[in-house]
Homo-oligomer: A and B are copies of this chain.
């Protein structure tokens, strides 16, 4: 029996489009000789639907979509994720998998483990499964699970998050094959964790596992695909593309009572490098956000610095040079070198480029504010005005020409608040807001290597980073060196380490506490940040939920360090 994995890119709420796509994939798979095609979690409505799930009309449209799929697909069985209603007590919905065969919905398996951490909110909507529904296809019993259901295995959790392991329950029914439909978002390194998890489940239970993941960007989340099939020994038999749709097959043979034989799978290449993975992820995330929001063109402020250069290169890769407009907005504090670098970048990328000096705007603000600012010294207020004029210009261009503004801030800046709310934070999508500055440099190098020529100008990569908001300013006037800053941030933000633990990594207590204090104090800025593409295990954004008006302070040992900052 041939099984197809339909690794598709759905759009949330585009139920007609998603069903059309599944019908087309099913027809292809049937022509490819498959007896069954498997689609990802909630493929009918797209994942994550969030509070659209609270609309009865959304649930009804999703059920109609499932009906249309059932009626339209003939000659091949389908496993597909959808939202089912819960007529009983408890939460109103189920995260469900339908088994469609012979024009009938033969079974509905619900999800047991509902992730409610990081970016996940499934307890908000769904009642967990209370039973397991075995299905049989051509005499082969198949155990169904949905995404998180395979993640509570003791072998990967020192302390299981849930009190039950649904896979243990499912294998009590002696399925000969396990299928898991997923919508598992990308973060760097996660492909290995997933692979190990699936392999371990197969080995532990002596059953092959087919794992089908969705692909594509949905707001902050990027799904990398990489659906896999492993045999009962845990050997990799098939793997789908990374970061693009795919339709792959495996053959299943049930010759005797021993484990099923799984064969003839294709194993697509999978990047194994943090830089490459991050780059491919944000390219896909940018492409899908722009497209799924209904935009075609984008506009980016080009400072001549590394962040905007990398964002422009990502945007050109994602959307084509004809859909990316660069605007340099020099002030009297901008160096000629920066302007030259911005221009060189735009030329290297082949994108439209304009220069709009902002001095007139600065003078106007100075004049307007002169009476109220009389007797005060120049400070961060004047610096922020420059950033806000630039933001205003980009938004005016956005409003006039219907271009989406791409925000260029990196994660290091967003962490410590080295960015201007309503200034450089303006935009519809923050492309690199989950990439620490040091990783942005790695991406720049990779972009040039991949192109085989200079895309990001060498001088952009080599000069000292500067916001150029006052004469001779560099980022390191206000911040520790980026290698230190990023080391502390990785420990504090991504690994959730305590200050004392970070000290043991070799950083100075006063530096650690300065970084932590700056990070904690910048919550109000992040609260109003553009949605940012998630590439790490912990991004600022939907999965980072901190109160703003709060007083908690961490310390190194018993000591509190004074904040020294601009």
Chain B residues within an 8 Å CB radius of A380 = 399
Does A379 make an interface contact (CB < 8 A)? yes
User: What are the 5 closest A-B residue pairs judged by CB atoms, nearest first?
Assistant: A13-B552, A364-B364, A292-B549, A123-B123, A381-B399
Closest to A358 in B: B368
The complex is assembled from copies of this chain, and their number is: 2
Chain B residues within an 8 Å CB radius of A153 = none
Q: List 15 A-B residue pairs with CB atoms under 8 Å apart, sorted by A's residue number.
A: A13-B550, A13-B553, A46-B550, A50-B547, A51-B546, A52-B546, A54-B496, A116-B124, A356-B368, A360-B368, A361-B365, A368-B393, A379-B399, A379-B400, A527-B531
Closest to A382 in B: B396
Assembled-state Cα–Cα distance A498/B552 (Å): 43
Q: Which A residues have a C-beta under 8 Å from some C-beta of B? A: 11-15, 17, 46, 48-52, 54-58, 61, 89-92, 114, 116-117, 121, 123-124, 159-163, 217-219, 288-289, 292-293, 354, 356-358, 360-361, 363-365, 367-369, 371-373, 376, 379-382, 384-385, 388-389, 391-393, 395-397, 399-400, 421-422, 426, 428, 496, 498-499, 524, 527-531, 542, 544-554
Given A11-B551, A389-B392, A551-B14; A367-B360 close (CB under 8 Å): yes
Contact partner, A422, options B54, B162, B381, B391, Cβ 8 Å? B391
B426, A422: Cβ atoms under 8 Å? yes
- For residue A554, give the distance in angstroms from its CB to the closest CB of chain B: 5
Chain B residues within an 8 Å CB radius of A17 = 551
B51, A545: Cβ atoms under 8 Å? yes
- For residue A532, give the distance in angstroms from its CB to the closest CB of chain B: 11
- For residue A470, give the distance in angstroms from its CB to the closest CB of chain B: 14
Closest to A217 in B: B549
- For residue A337, give the distance in angstroms from its CB to the closest CB of chain B: 22
Add 4 more A-B contacts to A56-B498, A219-B549, A360-B367 (CB < 8 A).
A13-B547, A14-B551, A52-B550, A55-B554
Chain B residues within an 8 Å CB radius of A50 = 545-547
Chain B residues within an 8 Å CB radius of A89 = 159-160, 162-163
A548, B293: Cβ atoms under 8 Å? yes
A363, B365: Cβ atoms under 8 Å? no
- For residue A561, give the distance in angstroms from its CB to the closest CB of chain B: 15
B385, A219: Cβ atoms under 8 Å? no
- For residue A21, give the distance in angstroms from its CB to the closest CB of chain B: 13
Closest to A376 in B: B400
- For residue A20, give the distance in angstroms from its CB to the closest CB of chain B: 13
Given A54-B496, A361-B368, A372-B356; A552-B121 close (CB under 8 Å): no
A550, B12: Cβ atoms under 8 Å? yes
B400, A395: Cβ atoms under 8 Å? no
Given A90-B160, A363-B364; A58-B549 close (CB under 8 Å): no
Assembled-state Cα–Cα distance A116/B121 (Å): 8
Chain B residues within an 8 Å CB radius of A363 = 364
Chain B residues within an 8 Å CB radius of A160 = 89-90
Chain B residues within an 8 Å CB radius of A373 = 396, 400
A547, B52: Cβ atoms under 8 Å? yes
Assembled-state Cα–Cα distance A356/B370 (Å): 10
